[in-house]
Amino acid sequence: MADQNVLAIGPGHPPTASGSIQRSLARAFSIEELRLLAQRRLPKAIFEFYEGGAETEITLRANRTAFERHALVPRYLVDVSQVDTTTVLLGTTAAMPLAIAPTGAIGFGWPLGDVALARAARDAGVPFALPTSATSSIERVARDAEGARLWFQAYMLRKRDFTMGLIRRALCAGYEALIITVDMPTGGKRERDLRNDFGLPFRFTRRNLPGFAARPEWAWAQLRYGLPQLENLVGFTPEAVDVKSIASSVGKSYDPSFDWDGLARIRDLWPRKLLVKGILHPQDALQVAKLGCDGLIVSNHGGRQLDTAVPTLDALPSVVSAVGGRLDVLVDGGVRRGTDIVKALALGATAVMIGRPALYGVSAGGEAGAARMLYILHDELVRCMRLSGRACIARIDESLLRTWY
C-alpha cells in the first residue's frame, strides 16, 4: 500500500456564521426550517444534489412515509422527570442514539463543512462519519475536530490499493471505525443532477450558471476558500488534480466485483470496529454478522441508488431478527424528527444515522447550523421520550408502536 500520509492539511478554519445567519438559525425550530434556510442560501444545483434521489424518487419518499405509517402508543403515570438519552454505540457511550452519516461534497454547502460538522458532532457527543468523497482530508478532520468520535467510510474502488491506502490513513489518524458502503456497485441515476448540469465532475455551464449567480453570499464564501476539492482522492489518478478530473475518475471506478471474499479480507486487515452500510436483506445481514463485523447500517443510500428499493424502516425488523443481537444495527433514511428516532429504536435499531439533516444544518450556517440541527433532534428526542413514558433508551420497545394504516 502506498503511504498517503504526506498530504498537505492546509491552513484555515471553516468560516463562522454571520450575525444574521445566527439569528435565522435561532428562529429555526425544526429540520424542515433548516432545510428551507439551506435552500435559500445554496445555488439550486447544489441544493438539489443534496436533496435528490434516484429516478422517480419513490424510495426517497417511501423512507419518510414508512415513519409516518407508525403511530406511537404512549404510557403515562411514569416518572419522566429525568430523561437519559445516552446509549452504547459500538461499545462506547454516545449522548444519544444517533450518528452523522457519510455525505460527500459537504464543502459545496459550506467551506470546510466536513470540519464544521465533525466539531458540532463532537460537541454534541455523537459520532461523525467522513466519506471517501469528503472535501476535507482524513488528517485535517482528525486534527481540526480533535476529540471527535470519527468513523471513515470507504467505497470500494477498482484500484483496491488506493482504497486500502485510504483505510490505512484512517487507521493512522486514529479513526475509531471503518464503514464499508456496499450499495454502490455503480452510481444511481439521479435525474435532478442531469437536468441541473450538476456533476461531480463539477463545472459551470450555461444552464447552471444563473443558479450560482443568484446566490452571491454563497459565491463569495466559495471564492474566499476556493472551489472544494475531493481531498482524499488527490493522487487517485496521476493526471487528476482538480475536482473535475478526480471525480470523473472516481465515478467510473466503483468496483462492481467487490464481494463477500473482499469484505472478509477487509475484516482481517482492519483491527478496529467495522460496519457495513447499505444492508436491506436479512440474509446479507446474517452474513455480515458471521464475518465478525461490529455493526451494520440498514440503508438505501437515502433513496439515491436503487429506486423502488424497500424503505429502510420496513427492512429493519427482519434484519434485526436475523442478526439476533450479535452486532449493532443502525438505520438511516428519512429521519427528521425525535419521534422518528424513537420509532427506529422501537423496531430494534441501536441508533439512527442522519444524512440530509446534517447537510441542511451545515449549509444553513456552518458549525452553528450543524449544532442547531443536533440540538433540535436531541430536544425532540427528550420530549418524545417524556411524552411517551420512556425515561431511558432501554425502555423504548415495540409495545410503543402501532401501524397507523
Ligand X SMILES: Cc1cc2nc3c(=O)[nH]c(=O)nc-3n(C[C@H](O)[C@H](O)[C@H](O)COP(=O)(O)O)c2cc1C
| CA dist., res. 200 & res. 246, Å (int) | 9
Residues 28-67 that bind ligand X (CB under 6 A): 49-50, 63
- Closer CB to ligand X, residue 181 or residue 249? 181
Residue 93 CB, shortest distance to ligand X, in Å, is 23
Compute the CA torsion angle 115, 117, 121, 126 (nearest 10 deg): -100
Q: Would you say 332 and 312 are in contact if contact means Cβ atoms under 8 Å apart?
A: yes
- Closer CB to ligand X, residue 127 or residue 334? 334
| CA dist., res. 90 & res. 82, Å (int) | 25
Residue 81 CB, shortest distance to ligand X, in Å, is 32
Task: Please name the amino acid found at residue 37.
Answer: L
Residues 68-107 that bind ligand X (CB under 6 A): 101-104
Determine which one of 13, 281, 301, 378 is catalytic.
301
Q: Which of 4, 24, 85, 133 binds ligand X (CB under 6 A)?
A: 133
Selected range binding ligand X among 40-48, 169-177, 285-293, 333-341, rule: CB under 6 A: 333-341
Selected range binding ligand X among 26-34, 110-118, 213-221, 354-362, rule: CB under 6 A: 354-362
Decide if residue 302 touches ligand X (CB under 6 A). yes
| CA dist., res. 107 & res. 306, Å (int) | 26
281 belongs to the catalytic site: no
- Closest of 88, 172, 94, 179 to residue 130, by C-alpha: 179
- Closest of 109, 113, 89 to residue 48, by C-alpha: 109
Decide if residue 136 touches ligand X (CB under 6 A). no
Q: Which of 231, 332, 367, 380 binds ligand X (CB under 6 A)?
A: 332
Decide if residue 354 touches ligand X (CB under 6 A). yes
Q: Which residues contact 351 (CB under 8 A, 6 or more apart)?
A: 87, 89, 94, 97, 98, 99, 328, 330, 345
Decide if residue 355 touches ligand X (CB under 6 A). yes
Rg of the chain taking only CA atoms, in angstroms: 20
Selected range binding ligand X among 186-194, 206-214, 239-247, 330-338, rule: CB under 6 A: 330-338
Decide if residue 301 touches ligand X (CB under 6 A). yes
| CA dist., res. 201 & res. 204, Å (int) | 10
Q: Residue 178 forms beta bridges with which residues?
A: 152, 274
Positions that interact with ligand X (CB under 6 A): 49-50, 63, 101-104, 131, 133, 153, 181, 277, 299, 301-302, 304, 332-335, 354-356, 359
Active-site residue list: 301
